[in-house]
Amino acid sequence: MIVHQHPFLAPCRFARLVLAEHAIEAELVVEPFWDARPQFVAVNPALKLPMAYDGERDPLCGAEVLMEYVDERYGEARPAHRLMPSDPFQRAEVRRLVYWFTQKFEEEVAGPLVTERILKIEMPSKRGGGAPDSAALRIARQNVVAHFHYLGSLAIGRKWIAGDSFTFADLAAAAALSVVDYLGEAPWGADPAVKAWYQKLKSRPSFRPLLSDKARLVAPSPHYADLDF
């Protein structure tokens, strides 16, 4: 597949994990969505990233759309390790948690942190670039603690966050945490269950490429790539 994305947007990282877990090769293309390239807008008027091409057909826009597509099209190749359970209520729980991370956590935590600390440095000033908004950062830093406790409550009561099996929800959550951790904004001390769960995710081969991503002007937190942090 050809995947238009930005390496520090959590939904794009989620998509990369989904593809890697299915052993689907992806050519990654950085899409500076703030430039709203006419060819990009024409096929994807919501400017949603990731946007993936699988062959000649129309692009798949957004991580949730891509997730369902990959499961339907390629999930059968890994029946014992399928990332979407078969029970209808468990499927609903996986989707609830995926949306939690691609939408709610993104809006309240990862999106503001990444926008203020990474994207605004890359964007030209006429496209929204500039100095970080300290009020937005403060609110995101407050929100992250409540989110850690919620994730902790899932991690402690269940084997994986959506239940007994490893699912798309674990990948969406880990992708979101990984950008927060890159920026040194993850309160690991707040909940040991979250840390233990994240360590399992971080050790998966699918995760490795994410750990070598580097933002142009922002260095990763010292333990970012450590499997034993």
By DSSP bridging, strand 27-30 and strand 51-53 are unpaired
Smallest separation (angstroms) from a copy of itself to the CB of 61:
5
Give the DSSP letter of residue 163.
B
CB neighbours of residue 19 within 10 Å = 22
Which conformational region is residue 23 in: left (phi greater than 0), alpha (psi within -120 to 50 degrees), or beta?
Answer: left
Asked whether 78 and 148 are in contact (CB, 8 A), the reply is no
| Whole-number Å distance between alpha carbons of 69 and 199 | 28
Verify binding: residue 72, a copy of itself, rule CB under 8 A.
yes
Minimum gap (Å) between residue 32 Cβ and a copy of itself: 20
For the bound state, the minimum distance from the C-beta of residue 93 to a copy of itself, rounded and expressed in Å, comes to 7
81 close to 22: Cβ distance less than 8 angstroms: no
The residues in 80-119 that bind a copy of itself, with binding defined as CB under 8 A, are 88-89, 91-93, 95-96, 99-100, 103-104
- 211 Cβ partners below 8 Å, 6+ apart? 178, 202, 224, 225
Give the nearer residue to a copy of itself in terms of CB position, either 18 or 118. Answer: 18
- Verify binding: residue 46, a copy of itself, rule CB under 8 A: yes
Minimum gap (Å) between residue 132 Cβ and a copy of itself: 23
Q: Which of 15, 20, 26, 61 binds a copy of itself (CB under 8 A)?
A: 61
Q: Is 150 in the site for a copy of itself (CB under 8 A)?
A: yes
Binding site for a copy of itself (CB under 8 A): 45-46, 57-58, 60-62, 64-66, 68-69, 72-73, 88-89, 91-93, 95-96, 99-100, 103-104, 150
